[in-house]
Every structure is written in structure tokens, then in C-alpha cells.
């Protein structure tokens, strides 16, 4: 995925200032590479956005401060998504967009979705997620 992002960066379609990889320590998550279709879906959902990108695909990202990122991609197991969701809500700015591959965030309203089956990719705008969760009693993630 990073190769494709870097390739698009050269063409000026996306400004990528950082891509961060995290090592898994807390959760056992198997390595599953993104398919070509998934990567294209991510690019569709990030089209027109600029800023810093954190790519969470090899761990849960728990040790990194994500407050300076406004684009985050996550391809993690379902058991990690709820914990990651709490961290993202605490740290990301309101203008951030989160892209989840294959496994959606529980209780988060999707801004949009591209693809189907194993290649389905979900987009969440943090400001919309926060607004939705304020209206839902006893829901954090």
C-alpha cells in the first residue's frame, strides 16, 4: 500500500507527510496484506485530502501519539477495533478521516464505503463519529 501511496504522491494526487507503522505487542494480529482492490478503495476514500497519514496495519498503534495526523488507515482484526476506536476518538483532530479495511468500527457511523466482501473499505469522519456518539447513551467506541 505504501508503494501505491508514494506513487500517487509523485503525481500530486495526495500529500503524504508521514506513514507510520506500529509493532504489535498487546494484541495478536496476523499479517494480512492489503489487496490491490483494497488499496484502490483506500485511495478513493482519501481522494482530495491532504495532510499526515498514519497507516496502522501491523499493530494497534497504542504507543504513538496520533494527534498530529488527519488521515489514518487501519487494517486490523475485529478485536482491536474497539480499543483503537477509543484511542482515535481521544487523539485525532475533528477534521480527521479514518479508513478501516475489511473490519468496520463497532458503533461508528460510516461516512461512506467502497467495495464489497473482503475488499470492503469504510470511511469515518471523526467529527461525525463524535457527534453521533454524544447522542447515543453509554457508547464510547
Which neighbouring-strand residues pair with 54? 72
| DSSP run (H or E) holding 59 | none
The phi and psi torsions of 80 (rounded to 5 degrees) equal -90, -25
pTM: 0.75
Residue 89 has φ and ψ, to the nearest 5°, of: -65, -35
Contacts of 3 by beta carbon, 8 Å cutoff, 6+ apart: none
Domain ranges of the chain: 2-29+36-135
CATH code for the domain defined by 2-29+36-135:
3.40.50
For residue range 11-54, list pLDDT tens digits in order.
444 433 333 333 334 445 556 677 899 999 999 999 999 999 99
User: How do residues 73-97 score in pLDDT, each as one tens digit?
Assistant: 998 878 888 889 999 999 999 999 9
The residue count of the chain comes to 141
Amino acid at each position: 500500500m505504501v508503494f501505491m501511496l508514494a506513487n500517487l504522491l509523485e503525481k500530486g494526487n495526495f500529500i503524504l507527510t508521514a506513514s507510520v507503522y506500529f509493532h504489535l505487542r498487546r494484541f495478536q494480529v496476523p499479517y494480512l496484506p492489503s489487496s490491490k482492490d483494497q488499496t484502490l478503495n483506500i485511495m478513493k476514500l482519501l481522494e482530495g485530502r491532504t495532510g499526515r497519514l498514519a497507516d496502522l496495519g501491523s499493530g494497534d498503534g497504542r504507543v504513538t501519539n496520533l494527534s498530529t495526523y488527519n488521515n489514518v488507515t487501519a487494517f486490523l482484526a475485529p478485536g482491536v477495533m474497539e480499543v483503537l476506536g477509543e484511542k482515535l476518538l481521544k487523539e485525532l483532530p475533528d477534521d480527521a478521516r479514518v479508513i478501516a479495511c475489511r473490519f468496520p468500527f463497532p458503533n461508528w457511523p460510516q461516512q461512506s464505503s467502497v467495495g464489497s466482501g473482503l475488499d470492503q473499505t469504510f470511511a469515518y469522519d471523526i467529527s461525525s463519529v463524535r457527534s453521533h456518539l454524544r447522542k447515543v447513551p453509554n457508547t464510547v467506541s
